[in-house]
Amino acid sequence: MSTPDAAAGAMPPPPRPDAADAAAMPPPPPIPTNSKTNPDLPIAGARADIVRLLREHDFLVVVGDTGSGKTTQLPAYLLEDDESRTDNDTFAPVAITQPRRVAATSVSRRVAEERAVTLGGEEVGYKVRFDSVAQRATKLTFMTDGVLVRECVGDGRLTKYKTIVLDEAHERSVDTDVLFGLVKQAVELRKSTNDKLRCVVASATLDAARFSQYFDGAPVLRVPGRSHPVDIYHSKQQQPMTRFGPADKRYVSAAVDVAVQIHKSQNEGHILIFLTGQDEIENACQALRREAAKLEDTIVVGERGPAMLVLPLYGALPQEAADRVFDAVDASQIRKVVVATNIAETSLTVPGVKYVVDPGYVKQKGYDPERAVASLVVVPISKIAAEQRAGRAGRTEAGQCYRLYSKACFDAMAPETIPEIRRSSMASVALALKSLRIVDVLGFDFLDAPDQKQLACALLELHALGALESHGILTPLGHAMASLALEPDLARAALESVHFTGEGTTDPTVRNAVLAVVAMLSAEDVWYVGGKASDRRGAPSARRDAADQLRDEALDAHARFRHPRGDLISLLVVFSEYERACRSGGERTFARKHSLRDRALRFARKARDQLDAELARCERRENKRRRESSDGRVDLDEVCRALAAGLCLNAAERTLNDAYLLLPSASAHVQENKPEKSLVRLDAETEAPMSRPPDHICFHELRVNRHAKGSFARNVVVVDGKWLKKCRKRVGTADVGLLCGKEASTKAPVVVAATAAAAPAASSATAAAPVVDSGQAVDAARARFLARKKQSKTRK
């Protein structure tokens, strides 16, 4: 079927998906007279087409310019159409996915405002990780992709909903890509029933033909027109790039300078600056505040313009801090300067933003499958991202976008962002798919099949962590891991702390301690070190001395928390002392006094409470009883042992010169090109409290430090070699073919062949068969035998 491509608004009338159908089409449903939608937005012209096409097709692709009204208006059209109908064929409840929590919360608030209803009532709500403001019957629920993926885990047919709107589909996070396949499957499952599920895929910029083809030849509706025009200015200079990202951080000071210039010379209107991460943002905020203070001092009486209000916005910010960005202010008195990561790139409307400053970089997740380590790298953005950023300036009035890169540089940008699934750890993706009973994960219907090698490694990791049987079925432990809102390694640690798979009762002090560590790892970095890193290197000596002093003071303040058993236990000490401070009402001063990040502590506390409830559900299912702790003291051996069970695939042992040698990853036995032996070191702060370097460590993160020329294990915990041996006993014993529910073959391992990434999913999975040593061969044969036995039992 060819792709129908419709247009709305000022364009010629949309060609129908099929001419014969069009002739027989019923007239478009009338727009309710009491509509609470905005008739002035470009999407309003396409309203009738949206409703009609969605009644006729299971899938609809809507491509509309940024600000045309896809996010806020389209779901409301579906709701109002329901209200004007008398039959039972309704669109609501509708789930609308957003790539990020700040988008889900702020957009739902906007829609509730437009509809003059209370957020969290029957009409509009939101659900994000660790926070749900919605009822079961809420008709329009905005949620992150991740939340909907997790709902699919519990209900593969998504029976709660009648329509799914996959918004910002171009963002291509792992969750979005998984959702494409899951929603497609749910629509298929409900196709032949009278409880149809429909799906709208919406974006400002996506390859409509590819999406249409993937979603069963869905019609494509184009909605041209922005709410307001945006003038774009390019810089004449080119930022030098290296293999590791921009050559220096000049773009941060350049962005600050441009914002200050705008503030001094331009009319009212808020400014939005895009930077790559929290540290950069906090540094830029400090610089902007310094500039604002200087301006205040030099302003001539009577010439005072609006004062600058500098606000950060990044993913790890707690809700209240993020909310400040959206608070209404009098623009004649205050000019907001919001310094944000790319979380402000899609869906968000910061009312009154008129100027966007875009240096053209983003921090992206990368993944090194050889060492099974995730990393973050700063890379140039794609054209799509640049357009989205510019789009933020024209939301509530005409705007301007200042690109700190040349037009030539823009022309050279990649057209779209590489999907996250192509550059991240697949462990949680594979776990989610397995918990949906998708056995042949390598054959899953992805829009873009991820790297087969990474996916195969993820399966091996999950098997090594005890989440998968050798024939690819999820173990009870794996099911429990999938039900926790955590990465598989941390979920494993949490479940180990309650002896999920073992005998005995749970020691609540150990359980709570592990949960505290896991919650702290889910928050932003708690250790706050004042002074800019760039000031400590190569700055004039006075600035360097001041920065060094700030840093030393912070490290001194942190030293009291540092524990000889490693950073993870130090985090536990911080958390416990913070809790004590909260109980005595001293939480407000605690962070400042000890040079810690208050937001991280508050976030961790909330995350711990949520995890506590989730883990309690698992314990109830397992019928675990809690033992009364005799004296309330935490058995740190048990805490470290539980953490080791989760992090055992990130483990290293000491070599003679106090460097640490990484233990083989779960997939090392099937690697065709064996990875180089990798040495890592400990940070000075981790090492300081230890009387001697430990023999074995596990870690949560590995950082490559280009200045110190080496890799450093971060968030380390000291573990016992015996524990590691026990937790790692499944490492290297699995067969990827079997893990995908197929027969193991004795041929070479497809998973790591140089051509594996390019091979189509299904065929590579069929052929997959790791090379195994004789011990592993026996295990694999036994697994095959058990799988066959199980199959024949099922047949009987």
Ligand X SMILES: Nc1ncnc2c1ncn2[C@@H]1O[C@H](COP(=O)(O)OP(=O)(O)OP(=O)(O)O)[C@@H](O)[C@H]1O
Q: Which residues bind ligand X (CB under 6 A)?
A: 41, 64, 66-73, 110, 204, 227, 346-347, 349, 351, 391, 395-396
| 3-class DSSP assignment, residue 701 | strand
- Can you read off the two tokens belonging to residue 706? 């280009």
User: How many angstroms separate the Cα of 165 from the Cα of each of 75, 405, 729?
Assistant: 8, 35, 44
* 534 vs 283: CA distance, rounded Å: 10
At residue 24, φ and ψ (nearest 5 deg) are -90, 5
213 CB contacts (<8 Å, ≥6 apart)?
3
Q: Minimum CB separation from ligand X for residue 384, in Å?
A: 11
Residue nearer to ligand X on the CB measure, 94 or 427: 94
Sign of CA dihedral 279, 281, 286, 290: positive
CB of 113: closest distance to ligand X in angstroms? Answer: 8
Judged by beta carbon, residue 227 or residue 454, the one nearer ligand X is: 227
Q: How far is the CB of 141 from ligand X (least distance, A)?
A: 16
Cβ at position 328, least distance to ligand X in Å: 9
Handedness of CA 391, 397, 398, 399 (dihedral sign): negative
Closest to ligand X by CB, 351 or 508: 351
| Helices and strands, counts by H and E, the chain | 28, 24
Q: 475: buried, middle or exposed (CB in 10 Å: 19+, 13-18, 0-12)?
A: middle
Three-state secondary-structure class, residue 287? helix
Question: At its nearest, how many Å lie between ligand X and the CB of residue 111?
Answer: 8
Tokens of 351: 């009312």
DSSP assignment letter at 198? E
Least distance (Å) from ligand X to the CB of residue 687?
Answer: 47
- Whole-angstrom CA distances from 729 to 641, 674, 724 are 15, 20, 8
Contacts of 778 (CB under 8 A, 6+ apart): none
Three-state DSSP state, 718: strand
- What are the Cα distances from residue 450, in Å, to 420, 424, 427, 607? 9, 9, 12, 30
- Closest contact distance (angstroms) between CB of 103 and ligand X is 8
User: Between 399 and 472, whose beta carbon lies closer to ligand X?
Assistant: 399
Residue 728 CA to residue 652 CA, distance in Å, equals 12
CA distance 567 to 714: 8
Which lies closer to ligand X via its Cβ, residue 51 or residue 438? Answer: 51
388 contact partners, CB below 8 Å, separation of at least 6: 66, 204, 205, 345, 346
Residue 166 beta carbon to ligand X: minimum distance, rounded to whole angstroms: 13
* Integer Rg of the chain from CA: 27
What is the pairing mode between strands 94-98 and 140-144? parallel
d(CA 572, CA 313): 27
Q: Are 546 and 535 in contact (CB under 8 A)?
A: yes
For the CB of residue 407, give the shortest distance to ligand X in the complex, in Å. Answer: 23
Give min distance, CB of 591 to ligand X, in A.
Answer: 31
Among 394, 72, 80, 65, CA closest to 221: 65
Strand partners, 506: 626
Nearest of 568, 564, 560, 566 to residue 596 by alpha carbon: 560
DSSP, collapsed to helix, strand or coil, labels residue 601 as helix
> Which one, 271 or 640, has the nearer CB to ligand X?
271
* Closest separation in Å from C-beta 354 to ligand X: 12
Query: Phi and psi of 541, rounded to 5°?
Result: -60, -35
Residues 6+ apart with CB under 8 A from 386: 358, 360, 403, 410, 413
CB of 143 to ligand X, least distance (A): 16
Nearest residue (CB) to ligand X, 328 versus 656 = 328
- Provide, rounded to whole angstroms, the least separation between the CB of residue 499 and ligand X: 46
* C-alpha distances out from residue 711 to 518, 661, 662, 765, 768, Å: 23, 11, 11, 34, 32
Residue number, 138 or 349, with CB nearest to ligand X: 349
Q: How far is the CB of 346 from ligand X (least distance, A)?
A: 5
User: Shortest distance, CB of residue 742 to ligand X, whole angstroms?
Assistant: 41
Torsion, Cα 677 683 688 689, to 10 degrees, reads: -80
Instruction: Specify the DSSP element, H or E, that contains 793.
Output: helix 774-795
Q: How far is the CB of 204 from ligand X (least distance, A)?
A: 4
DSSP, collapsed to helix, strand or coil, labels residue 539 as coil
